[in-house]
Chains A and B, each alone.
Chain A
Amino acid sequence: MLTIATGNKAVAAAVKAANPGVIAAYPITPQTEIVEQIADYVTDGELASRYIPVESEHSAMAACIGASAGGVRTFTATSSHGLLYMHEMVHWAAGARLPIVMANVNRALGPGWNTWAEHTDAFSQRDTGWLQVFVGTVQEAYDATLMAFKIAEDERVLLPVMVNLDGFTLSHIMQSLETAEIGDFLPPYHLPHAIDTENPCVYGPMTGPADYFRFRWDIERSMRDARGVIADVEREFAERFGRSYGPTEDYRCEDADVVVIAMGTLGKEAEVAVDRLRDEGIKAGSMRLRWFRPFPDLDLAGREVVVIDRDYSFGFGGVVAHSIRSKTGIEPYSVIAGLGGQEVTYNDIADFVRNRHPGEETWFGVSDHV
Chain B
Amino acid sequence: MYEIRIHSRGGQGGVTAAKLLALAAFRDGKYATACPFYGAERRGAPVVSFVRIDDEPIKIYSQIHEPDLVIVLDTSIMDVVDVLQGLKDDGTVLLNSAHPLPGCNGTCRHVDLTGIALAENLVVAGSPILNTPVLGALAKMDIVTLPSVEKAIREMFADERNVKAAEAAYEELKV
Residues of chain A touching chain B, judged by Cβ–Cβ distance below 8 Å, are: 4, 30, 115-116, 166, 168-170, 172-176, 265-266, 268-269, 271-272, 343-346
Contact = CB atoms under 8 A, between A and B. Distances in A.
Contact of A271 (B23, B26, B59, B65): B59
Given A4-B22, A4-B32, A173 B38 contact: no
B63 interface: yes
Given A115-B38, A174-B22, A268-B59, A345 B65 contact: yes
Nearest to B21: A174
Given A4-B22, A4-B23, A345-B65, A174 B35 contact: yes
A269 B32 contact: no
A269 to B, nearest CB: 5
A344 B19 CA distance: 23
B33 A173 contact: yes
A159 B26 CA distance: 38
B60 A272 contact: yes
B59 A174 contact: no
A131 B35 CA distance: 29
Contact of A172 (B38, B58, B63): B38
Nearest to A113: B40
Interface string B109-124: 0000000000000000
Interface in B32-59: 32-36, 38, 58-59
A169 B26 contact: no
Contacts of B31: 176
B62 interface: yes
17 contacts: A4-B23, A116-B38, A166-B61, A168-B38, A169-B35, A170-B61, A172-B36, A172-B38, A173-B35, A174-B33, A175-B32, A176-B26, A266-B61, A269-B61, A272-B59, A272-B60, A343-B63
Given A4-B32, A175-B33, A272-B59, 19 more contacts: A30-B38, A169-B61, A170-B61, A173-B35, A174-B18, A174-B19, A174-B23, A174-B32, A174-B33, A175-B58, A176-B26, A176-B31, A176-B32, A265-B61, A269-B60, A269-B61, A343-B63, A345-B60, A346-B62
Q: Rank and list the top 8 A-B pairs by shortest CB-CB distance, nearest first.
A: A345-B62, A265-B61, A173-B35, A174-B34, A4-B26, A169-B61, A268-B59, A174-B22
Contacts of B19: 174
Contacts of A344: 62
Nearest to A4: B26
Most chain-B Cβ atoms within 10 A of its Cβ — which of A173, A174, A266, A345?
Answer: A174
Contacts of A176: 26, 31-32
A269 B38 contact: no
Interface string B150-165: 0000000000000000
A343 B65 CA distance: 11
A112 to B, nearest CB: 12
A358 to B, nearest CB: 25
A79 to B, nearest CB: 13
Contacts of A115: 38
B61 A173 contact: yes
B62 A343 contact: yes
A174 B62 CA distance: 14
A92 B13 CA distance: 44
Nearest to A344: B62
**Residue with the greatest number of chain B CB neighbours at <10 A, chosen from A4, A168, A343, A344:** A4
Interface in B64-90: 65
Interface in B129-163: none
Nearest to A29: B38
Contacts of A30: 38
A184 B33 CA distance: 32
